[in-house]
C-alpha cells in the first residue's frame, strides 16, 4: 500500500508498481481530469468524491474511470468496488447512480448497487430487444424467472420501464464490458 499526495509522487509509485489499482480521494486541485485520463489509460482507479456533482461524475466516466463512490460509502462497499474493478467490471454507488439517472444531488444512504452476472446477462438480452420469453430460451430459464430478474434490476437502478432500464444501463456503461466481448 502506498500513499501519494501529488501527481509527481503517484507517478513515482507507479514506476515501481505499474499495475497498481489506485484509490483516489479525488481533489481537482491535485488530480485534474487530464491526469486521471492519462492514468486511466494504463491503470484502474476507484475514485471517491466529496459531493455528488453530476458534471464531475459524467466527466470521470467519460475518461474511463470504472468506479466512483462518495465519501459516505462504507468499507464493505469500497471493498466490493475494488473486487468489481479487479474483475474488469464497473461499480458505482447509489448516490452516483441516483445523480445520473434522477438528477439527484442530495446525499442519501450509500447502499451498493451491483448487478449479479445473471442480471447482467438478462439486461444484455433486453438491450438487444429480446422479450422475457426469448431471453429465457437463450438462458435456459423460464420467462417468469427472467421477469423476476428484470424487476430486480429495475428496482436496483430505480427505473420504471424497460426502455428506461436499457437507457440507464448504457448511460452508466453497465453493459460496456459485456457488449464488447
CATH number at residue 163: 1.10.10.10
Is there a single domain that holds both residue 22 and residue 102? yes
From 113, 135, 169, give the residue that closes a domain: 113
Residue whose entry in the numeric block shows the C-alpha cell 456533482: 53
Q: Residue 13 maps to which CATH number?
A: 3.40.50.2300
Nearest to 128 by CA among 84, 88, 165: 165
Q: For residue 40, is it within any domain?
A: yes
Which comes out higher in pLDDT, residue 125 or 15? 125
State the number of CA atoms in the 13 A half-sphere of 50 facing the CB.
Answer: 3
For the chain, how big is the Rg over CA atoms in Å?
17
Is there a single domain that holds both residue 20 and residue 109? yes
Is there a single domain that holds both residue 168 and residue 133? yes
Is there a single domain that holds both residue 57 and residue 109? yes
Q: Looking at the predicted structure, is the pLDDT value of residue 31 above 60?
A: yes
Q: Looking at the predicted structure, is the pLDDT value of residue 180 above 50?
A: no
Nearest to 124 by CA among 116, 29, 47: 116
Is there a single domain that holds both residue 108 and residue 127? no
Query: Which pLDDT belongs to residue 105?
Result: 47
* Number of domains comprising the chain: 2
| pTM for this model (two decimals) | 0.51
Is there a single domain that holds both residue 105 and residue 165? no
Is there a single domain that holds both residue 85 and residue 145? no
**Arithmetic mean of pLDDT, 2-23:** 69
Q: For residue 2, is it within any domain?
A: no
Phi, psi of 25 (to 5 degrees): -85, 95
Q: For residue 1, is it within any domain?
A: no
**In which domain, by residue range, is 150 found?**
117-179
Q: Looking at the predicted structure, is the pLDDT value of residue 62 above 70?
A: yes
Q: For residue 64, is it within any domain?
A: yes
From 92, 113, 134, give the residue that closes a domain: 113
pLDDT band, residue 178 (cuts 50/70/90): very low
pLDDT band, residue 138 (cuts 50/70/90): very high
Amino acid at each position: 500500500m502506498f500513499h501519494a499526495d501529488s501527481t509527481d509522487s503517484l507517478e513515482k509509485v507507479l514506476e515501481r508498481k505499474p499495475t497498481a489499482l489506485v484509490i483516489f480521494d479525488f481533489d481537482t486541485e491535485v488530480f485534474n481530469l487530464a491526469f486521471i485520463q492519462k492514468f486511466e489509460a494504463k491503470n484502474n482507479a476507484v475514485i471517491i468524491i466529496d459531493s455528488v456533482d453530476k458534471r464531475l461524475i459524467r466527466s470521470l466516466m467519460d475518461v474511463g474511470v470504472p468506479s466512483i463512490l462518495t465519501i459516505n460509502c462504507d468499507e464493505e462497499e469500497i471493498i466490493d468496488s475494488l473486487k468489481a474493478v479487479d474483475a474488469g467490471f464497473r461499480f458505482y454507488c447509489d448516490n452516483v447512480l441516483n445523480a445520473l439517472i434522477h438528477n439527484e444531488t442530495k446525499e442519501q444512504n450509500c447502499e451498493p448497487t451491483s448487478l449479479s452476472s445473471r442480471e447482467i446477462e438478462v439486461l444484455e438480452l433486453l438491450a438487444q430487444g429480446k422479450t422475457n420469453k426469448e431471453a429465457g430460451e437463450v438462458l435456459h430459464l423460464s420467462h417468469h424467472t427472467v421477469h423476476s430478474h428484470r424487476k430486480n434490476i429495475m428496482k436496483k437502478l430505480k427505473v420504471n420501464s424497460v426502455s428506461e432500464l436499457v437507457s440507464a444501463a448504457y448511460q452508466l456503461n453497465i453493459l460496456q464490458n459485456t457488449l464488447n466481448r
